[in-house]
Structure 1
């Protein structure tokens, strides 16, 4: 069983059909603020209020669990330990552990329902 202090926090990622409309909803209706955006044109953004952050990404593959978007990003303190545990438990790893250009070291797994979950650590 993994040590509970190895897990830091997570990011919920919602694939949305209209990114602008979704951002507007969270900012105007729920008083969130946009704290990050990515892409030209923008296809990824983070809205946040207090300790709650929601990552929004432009949907590209219908309503099924996405094979291209993460369903959940879990931040951990010891990424190598979590990666080894997943490998040792024969978890389906769909993207190997790597340093990413967005300043994270992470890897993706697929759960039994096809949801992509990423474990990552800031570099």
Structure 2
């Protein structure tokens, strides 16, 4: 029997982001972005799932974690400029300023309190909802 992944339908895939302080990270993502905590594991918590609309983010405790120069997640939104302005108003660290990229996205990169970088994009020429 041969295997062919092209016949397998993929479902939701959610990034797991390491954080040094689960409580601080949950507070950041819930208060700044409006995520809701839908799952917590451990006492004290060592793993949390956050959800907002179609976006899901998993946070895992890694004591002493520091972010790197790599993006850990890509978030598609329907209004990148509005989110960018919101983050600027809250003094969230912007790593790369908003721009219209030649690959068809209005995009920017921000960092969470641990320095985890998240790339945000909005399709420029699409009227469809975020994927």
- The structure with the greater share of residues assigned to strand is 1
TM-score, with structure 1 as normaliser: 0.49
Please identify the structure whose Cα radius of gyration is greater. Answer: 2
